[in-house]
Amino acid sequence: MASILSVPKVTFILQVKVFIDPKDHDTFLKPFKTAYNIMIEEPGCAYFLVGENVQVSGAFHWTEGWTNNIQWFITMRSSMAT
């Protein structure tokens, strides 16, 4: 029998696609993993999905789902940049 899971209500979704020079693959991934680990611990982060397109060298994409609104997200990201 299937179980019913409680899922947070997502109010904002961010989708990103970046292209990295293939020679910088590992250089990109190390700090990205650190940032990923920080973001998934943020209050309001419902999910953070990351993928690499193996058919297009250096193409990465990710999708973040947030329970907070976009204004909160912009404010939070702005404070992280300073």
pLDDT digits (tens, 9 = 90+) for 23-72: 999 999 999 999 999 989 988 999 999 999 999 999 999 999 999 988 98
pTM: 0.79
State how far the Cα of 11 lies from the Cα of 81, in Å rounded to an integer. Answer: 23
Please state the domain count of the chain: 1
Asked whether residue 53 is domain-assigned, the answer is yes
**Which residue segment(s) compose the domain that 21 sits in?**
12-81
Q: Are strands 12-19 and 59-66 parallel, antiparallel or unpaired?
A: antiparallel
Asked whether residue 2 is domain-assigned, the answer is no
Asked whether residue 27 is domain-assigned, the answer is yes
Q: Are strands 59-66 and 45-53 parallel, antiparallel or unpaired?
A: antiparallel
Q: Read off the CATH number of the domain in which 69 is found.
A: 3.30.70.100
pLDDT score recorded for residue 72: 87
Asked whether residue 33 is domain-assigned, the answer is yes
DSSP per residue, 21-53: -GGGHHHHHHHHHHHHHHHHTSTTEEEEEEEEE
Residues 6+ apart with CB under 8 A from 62: 15, 16, 48, 49, 50, 51
